[in-house]
Amino acid sequence: MYDRLKSAKNRHLEEARIKEEDERERARALENAPDDDDLLAEEDRHEGEAAEPINSEDDEDDKMPEYPQEVKDAQEKAREARRLFDEVNEKTGDLDAKIREAEDFANSDYGEDYSWAALKDKCFDRNVQQYTYQFCPFGQNTQKDTGAYSGTSLGSFKNWSGPEGNKYSKMHFGDGQQCWNGPKRSTDITIECGEENELVEVTEPAKCEYLFTFRTPLACSDPDKEVVHDEF
């Protein structure tokens, strides 16, 4: 999928580059100015001013002679080429963002059936004493004074950390805000089956090491996969 996006992007860029290059060539040839190899830069300097004469021999004359028509045409073409280039550049920027997003998605572990992707970009809060804790499954956990705007990072998602065979039952978050005289803050999350997505418990068993319990229907075993026992 990104290969297709990438080649579309490269094609757009190449077309715009060639078109801009052609127009510059033409403008250079017409202006017959060997030193001026950047018509667009020249164009910038003239922006907002009346066109200046090429060979101004009469300084007293207020009326400015204009560039020859071919040069003005070439300047307009160059402006057009630049507009096209800017437009394509913006489109490739959008494509870049989509490619990054697709790559991120492909490099993340959302489970065999990608079902955990449903929690991507979601966050769940719980108030405990003076703090509001926030669990953002594939992002960053925080602790903030309830009502405060910003908080303390309790780590960002590192990996699924459940035991073999049950990998998706725990998550580890690390590299949070450094604890005074202690480690960088981290969170371990235990994931349980529940009817709703809910952060049900928050504790700090050791200084700056947090434990969350999160309930979600995603952790409930798939009834299709369960062994069906005969009821006879």
Pairing of strands 198-206, 186-193: unpaired
> Which residue, 140 or 143, has its beta carbon nearer to ligand MAN?
143
Number of Cβ within 10 Å of residue 5's Cβ equals: 15
Question: Between 69-107 and 39-46, two packed helices, what is the crossing angle to 10 degrees?
Answer: 110
Phi/psi-derived region of residue 165, left when phi > 0, alpha when psi is between -120 and 50, beta in every other case? left
Residue nearest to ligand MAN (CB): 180
> Which residue, 5 or 179, has its beta carbon nearer to ligand MAN?
179
The least CB distance from residue 232 to ligand MAN, in Å, is 56
The least CB distance from residue 185 to ligand MAN, in Å, is 7
State whether residue 140 is helix, strand or coil.
strand
| Side chain identity, residue 129 | Q
> Which residue, 27 or 208, has its beta carbon nearer to ligand MAN?
208
Structural contact between residues 189 and 171, judged by C-beta atoms closer than 8 angstroms: yes
Interatomic CA distance for residues 162 and 93, integer angstroms: 38
- Tell me which residues touch ligand MAN (CB under 6 A): 143, 152, 179-180, 204, 207-208
Q: Which segments of 5-139 are extended strands (E)?
A: 124-128, 131-135
The least CB distance from residue 118 to ligand MAN, in Å, is 30
> Which residue, 134 or 143, has its beta carbon nearer to ligand MAN?
143
The least CB distance from residue 180 to ligand MAN, in Å, is 5
Interatomic CA distance for residues 90 and 85, integer angstroms: 9
The least CB distance from residue 177 to ligand MAN, in Å, is 8
For residue 62, report the phi and psi dihedrals to the nearest 5 degrees. Answer: -65, -30
The least CB distance from residue 215 to ligand MAN, in Å, is 23
Q: What one-character-per-residue DSSP string does 39-64 give?
A: HHHHHHHHTTSPPPPSS---TT--SP
The least CB distance from residue 181 to ligand MAN, in Å, is 8
| Side chain identity, residue 188 | D
